[in-house]
Chain A
Amino acid sequence: MARYKTKGLDCWNKAKELRDRYYKDYKESHDRGGLRWEGGAWSFDAIPQALEGEVHGLSEEPYGASIGHIPELQVRYQEAAEGKWGCARDLCSYMRAYWGSVALNEYAFGGAWPHADFIFQNQICCCHSKWLQVADEIGGGTTPYFCFDVGAGPYDKIGDRQIDYVVGQLYDGIEFIEKVTNRKVIDEKLIQNVYNTYRSNCYWAKTCELNQAIPAPLDEKTMFSLYVLGTLEKSNQAIADFYEKELYPEVKDRVADKIAAVADEQCRVLGDSQPPWGFLRIYRYLEQYGIVSMANLYTFSLIGWMMVDKKGDIVPCPTLEEQGITIKDRDHALRLLAEGELKGKLMWAPFYGATYKNDLVTKIAKQWRCDAAIIHLNRGCEGTAQHQMQLKIALQGMGIPVMTFEGNMADEREFDEGRVMRLIELFVTETLGLKKVA
Chain B
Amino acid sequence: MIEEFKQWYDDRHSYAKEWKKNNSKGKVVGYFCTYVPEEILYAADCLPVRILGGHEPPALATPHMFDMWCPFSRDCLSQGLAGKYDYLDGVIIAQSCLHIRQAFGAWQLQVPTPWSYYLCMPNAVTTLHAKKFLAGELAEFKKAVEEWVGKTITDADLDRGIDIMNTNRRLMKLVYQSRKEDNPLITGTEAMTMVWASQIMDKREHNVLVEQLLRDLPNRRLDRDQGVRLMIVGSEHDDRPFMEMVETIGATFVIDDHCTGSRYFWDEIVTLKDRLQAIANRYCDRVPCPTKDFKQGTWERKRFPHIINLAKEYRAHGAVLIQQKFCDPHECDIPSLRRQLEDNGIPCYFLEFEVTVPVGQFRIRIEAFIEQLRADELFD
A and B touch in the complex (CB under 8 A): yes
Q: Judging by beta carbons under 8 Å apart, are B291 and A127 in contact?
A: yes
Q: Provide the A61-102 mask, 1 if CB < 8 A to any CB of B, else 0.
A: 000000000000000000000000111101110000000000
Q: Provide the B92-124 mask, 1 if CB < 8 A to any CB of A, else 0.
A: 000111110110111011000000001010111
A53 is an interface residue with CB less than 8 A from chain B:
no
Q: Judging by beta carbons under 8 Å apart, are B105 and A386 in contact?
A: yes
Given contacts A382-B328, A385-B68, A387-B106, contact A87 B335 (CB under 8 A): yes
Q: Judging by beta carbons under 8 Å apart, are B101 and A86 in contact?
A: no
CA distance A141 to B336 in the complex (A): 12
Q: Judging by beta carbons under 8 Å apart, are A146 and B66 in contact?
A: no
Interface with A: B253-261, B271-279, B295-303, which one?
A: B295-303
CA distance A129 to B333 in the complex (A): 11
Which residues of chain B come closer than 8 Å to A145, judged between CB atoms? 294-299
Contacts A/B (CB < 8 Å), 14 sampled: A130-B294, A149-B122, A164-B133, A165-B122, A165-B129, A172-B296, A352-B118, A353-B105, A354-B109, A377-B66, A382-B68, A387-B106, A389-B64, A389-B65
A133 is an interface residue with CB less than 8 A from chain B:
yes
Q: Looking across the interface, which residue of chain B has its beta carbon closest to that of A377?
A: B66
Which residues of chain A come closer than 8 Å to B291, judged between CB atoms? 126-127
A197 is an interface residue with CB less than 8 A from chain B:
no
CA distance A358 to B98 in the complex (A): 17
Which residues of chain B come closer than 8 Å to A86, judged between CB atoms? 335, 338
Q: Looking across the interface, which residue of chain A has its beta carbon closest to that of B289?
A: A126
Which residues of chain A come closer than 8 Å to B65, judged between CB atoms? 389
CA distance A123 to B109 in the complex (A): 27
CA distance A390 to B69 in the complex (A): 14
Q: Provide the A343-376 mask, 1 if CB < 8 A to any CB of B, else 0.
A: 0000000011111011000000000000000000
Q: Judging by beta carbons under 8 Å apart, are B109 and A127 in contact?
A: no
Q: Judging by beta carbons under 8 Å apart, are B298 and A169 in contact?
A: no
Which residues of chain A come closer than 8 Å to B83, judged between CB atoms? none
Quote the shortest CB–CB distance from B293 to chain A (angstroms). 8
Q: Judging by beta carbons under 8 Å apart, are B294 and A133 in contact?
A: yes
Which residues of chain B come closer than 8 Å to A176, judged between CB atoms? 296-297
Given contacts A152-B133, A355-B105, contact A130 B120 (CB under 8 A): no
Which residues of chain A come closer than 8 Å to B64, judged between CB atoms? 389-390
Q: Judging by beta carbons under 8 Å apart, are A85 and B297 in contact?
A: no
A251 is an interface residue with CB less than 8 A from chain B:
no
A257 is an interface residue with CB less than 8 A from chain B:
no
Quote the shortest CB–CB distance from B305 to chain A (angstroms). 15
Given contacts A86-B338, A129-B123, A147-B124, contact A386 B299 (CB under 8 A): no
B136 is an interface residue with CB less than 8 A from chain A:
yes
Count how many pairs of residues, one from A and one from B, have CB atoms less than 8 Å apart in the complex.
Answer: 159
Which residues of chain A come closer than 8 Å to B15, judged between CB atoms? none
Q: Judging by beta carbons under 8 Å apart, are A351 and B101 in contact?
A: yes
Picked from A137, A161, A352, A382, the residue with its CB within 8 Å of the CB of B299 is A137
B19 is an interface residue with CB less than 8 A from chain A:
no
B375 is an interface residue with CB less than 8 A from chain A:
no
Q: Judging by beta carbons under 8 Å apart, are A92 and B299 in contact?
A: no
Q: Judging by beta carbons under 8 Å apart, are B109 and A151 in contact?
A: no
Chain A residues with a Cβ under 8 A of chain B: 85-88, 90-92, 123, 125-127, 129-130, 132-134, 136-137, 141, 143-149, 151-153, 157, 161-162, 164-165, 168-169, 172, 176, 351-355, 357-358, 377, 379, 382-383, 385-390, 393, 404, 406
Which residues of chain A come closer than 8 Å to B95, judged between CB atoms? 151, 352
Quote the shortest CB–CB distance from A335 to chain B (angstroms). 14
CA distance A383 to B301 in the complex (A): 23
Q: Judging by beta carbons under 8 Å apart, are A90 and B122 in contact?
A: no
Q: Looking across the interface, which residue of chain B has its beta carbon closest to that of A135?
A: B299
CA distance A169 to B120 in the complex (A): 17
Q: Looking across the interface, which residue of chain A has its beta carbon closest to that of B352?
A: A88
Interchain residue pairs A-B with the least CB separation, the first 9: A354-B105, A130-B332, A149-B124, A168-B129, A88-B331, A165-B133, A126-B97, A149-B123, A126-B291
Which residues of chain B come closer than 8 Å to A127, judged between CB atoms? 291, 328-329, 332
B130 is an interface residue with CB less than 8 A from chain A:
yes
Q: Looking across the interface, which residue of chain A has its beta carbon closest to that of B63?
A: A389
Q: Looking across the interface, which residue of chain B has its beta carbon closest to that of A124?
A: B123
CA distance A353 to B66 in the complex (A): 16
Which residues of chain B come closer than 8 Å to A144, judged between CB atoms? 297-298
CA distance A88 to B108 in the complex (A): 30
Picked from B102, B120, B326, B329, the residue with its CB within 8 Å of the CB of A151 is B120
Which residues of chain B come closer than 8 Å to A393, judged between CB atoms? 63
B188 is an interface residue with CB less than 8 A from chain A:
no
CA distance A377 to B68 in the complex (A): 9
CA distance A146 to B67 in the complex (A): 34
Q: Judging by beta carbons under 8 Å apart, are B102 and A91 in contact?
A: no
Picked from B98, B108, B132, B136, the residue with its CB within 8 Å of the CB of A383 is B98
Picked from A147, A389, A404, the residue with its CB within 8 Å of the CB of B296 is A147
Q: Looking across the interface, which residue of chain A has its beta carbon closest to that of B104?
A: A353
Q: Judging by beta carbons under 8 Å apart, are B66 and A388 in contact?
A: yes
Given contacts A176-B296, A353-B118, contact A91 B332 (CB under 8 A): yes
Q: Judging by beta carbons under 8 Å apart, are A382 and B98 in contact?
A: yes
Which residues of chain B come closer than 8 Å to A164, judged between CB atoms? 129, 132-133
B177 is an interface residue with CB less than 8 A from chain A:
no
Given contacts A147-B294, A390-B64, contact A130 B333 (CB under 8 A): yes
Q: Judging by beta carbons under 8 Å apart, are A354 and B338 in contact?
A: no
Quote the shortest CB–CB distance from A385 to chain B (angstroms). 7
Quote the shortest CB–CB distance from A183 to chain B (angstroms). 18
Which residues of chain B come closer than 8 Å to A151, judged between CB atoms? 95, 120, 122-123
B356 is an interface residue with CB less than 8 A from chain A:
no
CA distance A162 to B95 in the complex (A): 15
CA distance A13 to B171 in the complex (A): 68
Q: Judging by beta carbons under 8 Å apart, are B299 and A134 in contact?
A: yes
Picked from A90, A383, A387, the residue with its CB within 8 Å of the CB of B105 is A387
Which residues of chain B come closer than 8 Å to A385, judged between CB atoms? 68
Which residues of chain A come closer than 8 Å to B372, judged between CB atoms? none
Q: Judging by beta carbons under 8 Å apart, are B108 and A353 in contact?
A: yes
B234 is an interface residue with CB less than 8 A from chain A:
no
CA distance A86 to B350 in the complex (A): 11
